Amino acid sequence: MEGIIAVNKAAGMTSHDVVGRLRRILKTKKIGHGGTLDPQVTGVLPIAVGKATRLIEYMQDGGKVYEGEITLGYATTTEDAWGDIVERSEVPKDVDSELIDQLMAEFQGEMEQVPPMYSAVKVNGRKLYEYARAGEEVERPIRQVTIQEFSRQSDLRWEEGVLRFDFRVVCSKGTYVRTLAVDLGNKLGLASHMSRLVRTQSAGLTLAESYSLEELEKLVEEGQRTFLLPLEYGASTLPVYELSAEEAQELQFGRWIKAVNQEERVAAFYQGKLVAVLEKKGDSWKPHKVFV
């Protein structure tokens, strides 16, 4: 069995939990995921099965889309709704939605981001959340991320002294969306956190085409495999290059071919099938991974 599966991850599960359950459902060990989701975050988790696991690194490089909710009025240890409250702010009744929109738009483009202490980023061989739980401070690495969109998606809602609104983010890999919520609050001079998050798109896969684990288990019991997408979906984040018959044969022998554009990495197809992922070396493309 090989291919790509779009899983709709439920809250309360780690990405590793999903992989473990799928190994039991599909009765195969060669399974991996294409982008970690925090346990309380739901939505699209790309899964690779069999030979498609060789495409995971490319799946992770693709952009992602999230939808969620920001709460102004208090901050938490984890920057989301599941941490302990560490700061409160009185939210003025005249908070201007136009000002919020203007400040959110300022995040668009490339920016530096410091990962939250409650994250799985490793420093000196230990995960940041291990330092946080031990009450230890450590210097965190700065990440370069890209935000294509950070926008408000609902009216402002007043609830028990806090202000909430829905948002949408289109961003590069490695972006901490909960940190965007905190940084927006800082721009407003208010304590804030991310109170809900759903990933609606990842590695070219959408929430609409994703399956819950329960749905997948039922389909497998019925002998169906309609959920299994061709491994070509795993290369959907890469530029496509259509090979000639001669080039396809050269690549199958592990030989280099002449690069016809400036792309550093391309997915090379022949007659609709993924032949290889190529990397640019000088004026040539060399096979990085060959699939046919």
Query: Is-contact 243 273, C-beta < 8 A?
Result: no
Query: Is-contact 275 252, C-beta < 8 A?
Result: yes
Query: Is-contact 105 150, C-beta < 8 A?
Result: yes
| Buried residues in 66-80 as b, exposed as e (16+ CB within 10 A) | bbbbbbbbbbbbbbb
> Can 38 be counted among the known catalytic residues?
yes
**Tokens 């259509």 label which residue?**
242
**Tokens 């439920």 label which residue?**
10
For the chain, how big is the Rg over CA atoms in Å? Answer: 22
Residues 6+ apart with CB under 8 A from 246: none
* Contacts for 17-21: CB closer than 8 Å, 24+ residues apart: 18/45, 18/47, 18/213, 19/47, 21/213
| Run of H or E including 15 | helix 15-26
Query: Is-contact 202 45, C-beta < 8 A?
Result: yes
Task: Tell me, letter by letter, the H, E, C secondary structure of 235-261.
Answer: HCCCCEEECCHHHHHHHHCCCCEECCC
Catalytic-labelled residue, pool 38, 61, 94, 283: 38
Q: Rounded to the nearest 5 degrees, what angle is found at the Cα of 203, between the Cα atoms of 199 and 208?
A: 55
Catalytic residues: 38
